[in-house]
């Protein structure tokens, strides 16, 4: 279910998962400026702990992260019956 903004219109809850503080802050600033509710996580473990409570409508996840990378995080989300419907966008800043 979508939250409602002050104007009464639905608010999309976006989760940004990235080990780079700069990327998280930039994404959060830009998305909030456009009216989205933003939840951030430093890695896949933190994200998985937050997903159940915060129920994001879309997830942006960095591919290259320590501990639990983006592919592993995405697989765990998609293997969970409650969250497999949530779109996951994989991102990378690596050239190549």
With contact defined as beta carbons under 8 Å apart, do 23 and 70 qualify? no
Cα–Cα dist 53/44, whole Å: 15
Homologous superfamily, domain 12-91:
Response regulator (3.40.50.2300)
pLDDT surpassing 90 at residue 94: no
Q: What is the pLDDT of residues 12-63, one digit of tens each?
A: 999 999 999 999 999 999 999 999 999 999 999 999 999 999 999 999 999 9
pTM surpassing 0.85? yes
With contact defined as beta carbons under 8 Å apart, do 73 and 15 qualify? no
Each domain of the chain, given as residue ranges in start order, spans 12-91
Strand partners, 46: none
């Amino acid at each position: 279910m979508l939250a409602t903004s002050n104007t009464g219109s639905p608010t999309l809850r976006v989760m940004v998962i990235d080990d780079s503080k700069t990327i998280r802050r930039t994404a959060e600033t830009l998305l909030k400026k456009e009216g989205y509710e933003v939840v951030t996580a430093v890695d896949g473990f933190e994200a998985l702990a937050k997903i159940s409570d915060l129920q994001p409508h879309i997830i942006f996840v960095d591919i290259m992260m320590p501990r639990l990378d983006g592919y592993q995080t995405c697989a765990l989300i998609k293997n969970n019956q409650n969250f497999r419907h949530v779109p996951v966008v994989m991102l990378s800043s690596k050239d190549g």
